[in-house]
Structure formats: structure tokens, C-alpha cells
A and B are shown apart, each in its own frame.
Chain A
Amino acid sequence: MTTPPPGVYLDHAATTPMSSSALEAFVAEASRTGNPSSLHSAGRAARRAVEESREAVAAALGARPSEVIFTGGGTESDNLAIKGIFWGRRRTDPLRTRVLVSAVEHHAVLDPAFWLAGHAGAEIVLLPVDREGRLDLAGLRAELAEHADEVALVSLMWANNEVGTVQPVREAVRLAHQHGIPVHTDAAQAVGQVEVDFAASGVDAMTVTGHKLGGPVGVGALVARRDLPIEAVLHGGGQERGVRSGTLDAAAIRAFATAVTEAVEQRAERAARLAALRDELVAGVLRVAPEAVLRGPDPSAGAASTGSPARLPGNAHFTFLGAEGDSLLYLLDSAGVQASTGSACQAGVPQPSHVLLAMGVPETEARGALRFSLGVTSTHADVERLIEVLPQVVERARAAGPASPRAMTGGVV
């Protein structure tokens, strides 16, 4: 295992240490030379490593090997899905210009969608979510009833990266497929945390990334049904079904496959441990910081249809009334606890999270957000340390108040 960062690291949803076996696989493959596209023996050896990895990833995710397209990570997979499916669908039917995405998607989905709106005549429909961040299926149903003939695709994440909400992906697929509309899901946060089965879910394309589950950064996959029309975003040597050109990174791919296999194999056991630790963290935070509000689903709830929990087991997310997220972050960091505000940053400028705003959280409250995310190296002692330092941190951050006087006019008490 790569060493976890020193101190208390509660930001595994940002990135989590690489597993020992993934690191070994990476080093072993990186110390060999060979382009998987070459026909000679060096190329064949690399090709074999890539194809065995493809089979392993497919097996772990309930997909067929031919459905696995290796990419440079989650953002690339999302871009390929949104742009590639949009263009693929529009080629056969130019009227299909609507892209339906949930309002709580990651920017790697939202931004390519809005790029298409600005550059390719797409119309983006942001599907509303409830107070826990879960897609409002009635909203999707109504949108499809009215505009099904114009919809190119639906994109709904498997689980939210900020508040951990597991989405009703199967239900969304059922609705979309009634109209023959393909569904993409970003499962970057879900694999290794909850059960993810590509075939059983019915989705047409699925984003997976390495570094959220014990693999390296910079590698991932888009799992896509073979009959899904999808245009290439990167053109060149024609690798990966011609959909994603570029020399295959055999070392990263092997490490990724090793990590995916391990994460899925050990999922149930790890998830149970993380959920217990998370429950302890939530109870502790609410005990010592009365102004904290847990955002997202009740950790003890289950999602109705799948037997999956309603919330990712390693996720806890709070807003702290009257405090600013970046103050909390700084004070925690100086006390040796590393967490995240969970919100999108533009060059490091904290903006209130679009996820929280979509959930109906007022802007003033959304500014005081903190996400704690647990992973394989997290321990009981980590949680204890957080609970120990949190009261002073919150008190001090509340004293520092919001940076902007305008933010104070919103009724914070």
C-alpha cells in the first residue's frame, strides 16, 4: 500500500492510497517495454497484460470485456460519454438535442454537457433532486413524457461525491429505456463502496476511475454497450474500438484492474467496517457540534429497490451554521485533520456547492460545508481525533464568520 498521508486523513473521496498489489502490478508492468499495439513479442506481452486487465475489470463490474474502454480517468470517461453519445445519437437523428442530467452531477458531467449547449446546439435539462440529493423520478418521467423524441441521453451518477446519495439508477434506466433513450452513469464514487453490476443495472455506459478505489490516478474506463452509438473524442491510432485513440498505458491499466478486482472482492467486508466507523463519526460530530446539520440521506436507510444502502458507507457530510467551509478546513488542517469542503473550486476559490443548492440548502448554510470521507486506512483513532478537535475548530470558525458581509445578510444567527 502506498503510505497514507501523515495525520488524520478523512478525504478518501478525493483520492485514496494505492493498494500494495496495485502498486506491485504497476511497477512490474512499468519496468517492461512494449507498445500493446505492436505485433512483435514485446508488444504481444504488453497486449496480453492489457487484455487480461480488460477481462478482470469486466468480470468485477458485471460487464463483457469488449464493453470496457480504457481511458485516462473519470473526467475523460464522462466527457467521452456525454459528448460521444450526444454526437452518436444525433448522427442518426438530428432532432435529438436534449441532454438530461441530474442537478447534482460532478462537473466532469455538467461541464461537457454545457459545453455542448454552447458549441453543438444541445439543450441541457437539469433534473431536480429531493432534499437528500436523490433524483426526483417524477421530474424525469414528466420530462420524458413531454420531450422523449428529442432526448439524446440521460446521465445520472451512481452515487454523489459530496453527500454520498446513492441514486435510483435502475428506476431511471427503466423510464428512459421505455423511450429507447440510453443512460450513462458516473460510478466513480460507487465502485468498491456499494454493489455495482453493469449488466444488471441496465445502464448503457458507466464511468469508473482508478484512484478512488486503490488504483493509480490517470486511468479509468468507460464501460459501454457495444450497440451504443458513440463518437470518438480523441482521434488517432484507433485503439479501444476506435473510440479512444492513444497508446495504452499497460502499467496503469494493470494496476487499475488489480485495484478494481480487489475493491469489488473485499467490498462487503470493507463497507460494513466503514459504515460502522462513519456512524460513529456522525454521532460524534452531532454530539460535540450542535450547529452541525448532516446533509444527504439518513445513513441507516436503505434504497428501496436494490438492497443497496441509501448513502455511501464512507461518506459523512455536514454544514456548520455561521462558519465558512474554508475556515473550517484551515483550522482542521492546522490541527492535523484533513477533510474537504466537498464543493467545486475554481482555482481554489470556494463557491457554494451546486449539489447543496440543488438540495434546497440556502447559500449561507451551503458556505459552511465539510465532507469527511473514510477509506481502507481509516481507523477509530482518526474519528476520535476529529471529535476531539472539532469543538474548538467550529467555535473559532464561527467567530471568524463569513468572509463577505453580503453572506451575513442571509439570516445566519
Chain B
Amino acid sequence: MRVLAAMSGGVDSAVAAALAVEAGHDVVGVHMALSRNRDQFRTGSRGCCSIEDAGDARRAADVLGIPYYVWDLSERFEDTVVADFLAEYSAGRTPNPCVRCNEHIKFEALLDKATALGFDAVATGHYARVVTRDVPDAAPTRELHRSPNAEKDQSYVLAVMGPERLERAMFPLGGFTSKAEVRAEAQRRGLSVSAKPDSYDICFVADGDTRGFLRSRLGSLPGEVVDTEGNVVGEHDGAYAFTVGQRKGLGLGRPATDGRARYVVDVQTSTNTVVVGPAELLSVDRIAGTGAVWFTEPAADWVEAEVQVRAHGSPVPAQVRAASHDGGSAGGSAGDDPAPGLEIRLTDRPLRGVAAGQSAVVYRGTQVLGQATVSRAWRA
């Protein structure tokens, strides 16, 4: 196969490319330039966007003996991932830019261009497994599964790509059970990125300061923090910067009358108001999602599954079904809806702090069944 290996300059994508080469594929390395004004050197824990990272990717490609190109996807990135990030926060929701990047950049812009240029697949350094299952009298189907490395598992941020895109995706690190193992593989092949530190932060937010980034792009917008009775208990610099479930950084002047910890329970961007309240207000057992993606036939009726609402959260038992629109009732017409919805009811215990904008990913065991973007969460 002709495989395009997306190479960030980090150790994971370098080893993924190496494994694709060793599997006998015809591999070309591509580094995506996602920012027009890139820093010369890598700073902090941002792991992909400096010129130094591009150089590390090139060096790895040279060691592997594969061609290497840089594709400028910076405008597309700004127009989709960054624009969505700002729009979502502006609307009081909590976006996951890594999900949007997989949706719009890696498995859309990059994959489409690769396909047009004659590549059969795009290989990335994600930790997730693709399982191919034979189907009688039909083409085998590909399933997306969790990595056996629970700590590194990235199936949560990949679910958005859907089954058609999964056909052309390759995750050579799918079988690895530890990062140390990946580093050892890198070292064994003489890849100089073997000891490069991991990246954690959002790549386009310097120093991990999301609030500072939002303020620089959206401006300062002072407003009030109120409790559930409507009493003003503090001030803020822009309601958009708050997330439902947030406890730290509220800057409340005086403690609550009952002395209990307070959390953000609602972000009302229309009135630029942040509402705080006790933890129990955050508990939800019903979630409605939009933009549903299914790897299986959409569930017309309630099915047993598990749901995960954060990248590093734990899955909880739930029943899910397709909905004709977010929060609406199920029906056979779900597949025809331009923005199919997903309904979730938690069957074992409630979840706390489910913010609109996050992804809800539906699993059965290790297999990803589907996902949707949370539009609403409430206590039934």
C-alpha cells in the first residue's frame, strides 16, 4: 500500500511511520504546518508546532529513508479548529480541539489530499486499534477499539472520524501497551526523538493558558458571577472562559453561606453571567448529543453500552439510542437527519460536570460504537 505517515516531530508518529515502512508499505512522511507564525524552538509541553518539531520529523524521515514533505494546512486549521474553539467558548460550551483536529484536519484535509494524490491510507501515531472482522458474503468491516494502553488510549478523540474514514486510517501503535515500549522501539531504530518529552497542552495555546488565549482573541468582557438565587458573589473577565464543572479560578470574594465548595453550574453567554452552585447540581443522568456518528447501524431502540464524556474520563454504564434531532425521540428516520442526534441515559450512576461541546463516546467493551457532541445534560 501507499501510506502517508503524518509526522508531528514526536516519538509516537516517528515509530508509527517506522512500523508502516517495516510492514512493507511505500511510505511518505508529511508534517502538517498548522500555524503560520511558528516558533523556532519547542517550548513547554506543546508538541507539534515549532520549526524544531518540523526538523525532528524530517530527521526521523531521513533515518527511515522515506521522502518527507511539509504541507501547509494552517489556514484550514485556523478556519476550522481554532474558529470552532473560539465559537464554542463564546457560546458557553467546552470544545475539544483535538477532536475537531481529527475531524477536520487529520482525517479530512490531510486524508482527502492524500487520497487524491494516490495514497491508500494515512498512518498516525495514535493509540487505538483497528480490528478487521470478516462478514459472511460481504466485505470485512473495520472496528475502532481502545488501545490496550488505558492511560494513553486515544479512541475517544478518534471516534469522530466515522467508519468511512476509518477505512483509510492506520494506527501502527495500536498494539503497544506502554509508552516506554514505543520509546524503546524508537531508540532501537536510531530515531533521535526517542527521548523527546511528551506533549500535553493544546498546540495553539501557548503555555497552556487557555483563558489568556481566549481573552487575547475574544477580548475582555467583565461580568458577574451569581449563585443559584441570583445573588452576585463575584466578577469575571468574560463568561466564555468558564466551563461547567469548573471549581478552580473562580475568584469568588467570600465563601458560600453554607461553607461548601462551589462549582460553575451554568455559563450564560447571552447575559455574560457565570452561575455557581453546589456539586450536586452538576449531577446528570441524561445526555443529549448532536452530530452523531455510528460505526455500527444506528441503534433505533435503547441498547446497553458504556459512555465516556472526557478524554481521560472513565466509561459509565448507559443506554443509548439514535434520535432524529438532539434530545428528541428516536425513530427510524435518524439516518436521514442532517445532524442526527443521540440520546443517553445513565443506568448505574450519574456523572458530574458534563459540559456542552464535549464529545460523548459510546463503547461496548473496547469497541467504539459511535459518538456525538453533547448539546444538553440534565437530571431526570
B58 at the interface (CB under 8 A from A): yes
Interface of A is mostly: helix
Interface of B is mostly: mixed
Query: Is the CB–CB distance between A401 and B116 below 8 Å?
Result: yes
Q: Quote the shortest CB–CB distance from B323 to chain A (angstroms).
A: 31
A307 at the interface (CB under 8 A from B): no
In the bound assembly, the distance between CA atoms of A331 and B114 in angstroms comes to: 11
User: Interface residues of A, CB < 8 Å — how many?
Assistant: 23
Q: Quote the shortest CB–CB distance from B55 to chain A (angstroms).
A: 7
Contact with B along A322-339 (1 / 0, CB 8 A): 000011011101100000
Query: Is the CB–CB distance between A407 and B75 below 8 Å?
Result: yes
Binds B, one of A104-112, A281-289, A342-350: A342-350
A406 in contact with B75 given A347-B38, A347-B54 (CB within 8 Å): yes
A396 in contact with B116 given A347-B38, A347-B55 (CB within 8 Å): yes
In the bound assembly, the distance between CA atoms of A399 and B74 in angstroms comes to: 20
Query: Is the CB–CB distance between A403 and B113 below 8 Å?
Result: yes
Contact with A along B248-261 (1 / 0, CB 8 A): 00000000000000
Query: Is the CB–CB distance between B51 and A400 below 8 Å?
Result: no
Query: Is the CB–CB distance between B117 and A400 below 8 Å?
Result: yes
Give the residues from 51 to 110 in chain B that come closer than 8 angstroms, CB to CB, to chain A: 51, 54-55, 58, 67-76, 79, 109
Query: Is the CB–CB distance between B116 and A348 below 8 Å?
Result: no
A400 in contact with B113 given A349-B72, A405-B79, A407-B75 (CB within 8 Å): yes
In the complex, number of A-B residue pairs with CB atoms less than 8 Å apart: 63
Query: Is the CB–CB distance between B75 and A349 below 8 Å?
Result: no
Query: Is the CB–CB distance between A399 and B69 below 8 Å?
Result: no
Interface size bracket, B side: 20 to 34
Query: Is the CB–CB distance between A403 and B72 below 8 Å?
Result: yes
Q: Quote the shortest CB–CB distance from A148 to chain B (angstroms).
A: 38
B28 at the interface (CB under 8 A from A): yes
Q: Tell me which residues across on chain A come within 8 A of B58, comparing CB atoms.
A: 348
Q: Tell me which residues across on chain B come within 8 A of A333, comparing CB atoms.
A: 67
A397 at the interface (CB under 8 A from B): yes
Which of A327, A404, A406, A407: most chain B Cβ within 10 A? Answer: A404
In the bound assembly, the distance between CA atoms of A349 and B70 in angstroms comes to: 6
B328 at the interface (CB under 8 A from A): no
Query: Is the CB–CB distance between B70 and A404 below 8 Å?
Result: no
Out of B28, B69, B79, B113, name the residue touching A348 (CB < 8 Å).
Answer: B69
Query: Is the CB–CB distance between A403 and B71 below 8 Å?
Result: yes
Q: Tell me which residues across on chain A come within 8 A of B345, comparing CB atoms.
A: none
Q: Tell me which residues across on chain A come within 8 A of B68, comparing CB atoms.
A: 348
Query: Is the CB–CB distance between B117 and A397 below 8 Å?
Result: yes
Contact with A along B98-138 (1 / 0, CB 8 A): 00000000000100010011100000000000000000000
Query: Is the CB–CB distance between A404 and B72 below 8 Å?
Result: yes
Contact with A along B27-59 (1 / 0, CB 8 A): 010010100001000000000000100110010
Query: In the complex, what residue of chain A is closest to B117 when comparing beta carbons?
Result: A400
Q: Quote the shortest CB–CB distance from B258 to chain A (angstroms).
A: 53
Q: Tell me which residues across on chain A come within 8 A of B116, comparing CB atoms.
A: 396, 399-401
Q: Quote the shortest CB–CB distance from A299 to chain B (angstroms).
A: 30
In the bound assembly, the distance between CA atoms of A334 and B67 in angstroms comes to: 9
Contact with A along B9-33 (1 / 0, CB 8 A): 0000000000000000000100101
Q: Quote the shortest CB–CB distance from B35 to chain A (angstroms).
A: 10
Contact with B along A389-405 (1 / 0, CB 8 A): 00000001101110111
Query: Is the CB–CB distance between A404 and B75 below 8 Å?
Result: yes
Q: Quote the shortest CB–CB distance from A9 to chain B (angstroms).
A: 15
Q: Quote the shortest CB–CB distance from B329 to chain A (angstroms).
A: 37
A350 in contact with B117 given A403-B109, A405-B75, A406-B79 (CB within 8 Å): no
Q: Tell me which residues across on chain A come within 8 A of B109, comparing CB atoms.
A: 403
Give the residues from 308 to 365 in chain A that come closer than 8 angstroms, CB to CB, to chain B: 326-327, 329-331, 333-334, 346-351
Out of A330, A349, A405, name the residue touching B28 (CB < 8 Å).
Answer: A330
Q: Tell me which residues across on chain A come within 8 A of B118, comparing CB atoms.
A: 331, 396
Out of B33, B76, B79, B113, name the residue touching A349 (CB < 8 Å).
Answer: B33
Query: In the complex, what residue of chain B is closest to A400 when comparing beta carbons?
Result: B116
What are 23 A-B interface contacts by the 8 Å CB criterion? A326-B71, A327-B117, A329-B69, A330-B28, A331-B117, A331-B118, A347-B51, A347-B54, A348-B54, A348-B69, A349-B33, A349-B72, A350-B70, A351-B72, A396-B116, A399-B116, A400-B116, A400-B117, A404-B73, A404-B74, A404-B75, A406-B75, A407-B75
Given contacts A327-B113, A347-B55, 4 further A-B contacts (CB under 8 A): A346-B51, A396-B118, A404-B76, A405-B76
Chain B residues at the A interface, C-beta cutoff of 8 Å:
28, 31, 33, 38, 51, 54-55, 58, 67-76, 79, 109, 113, 116-118
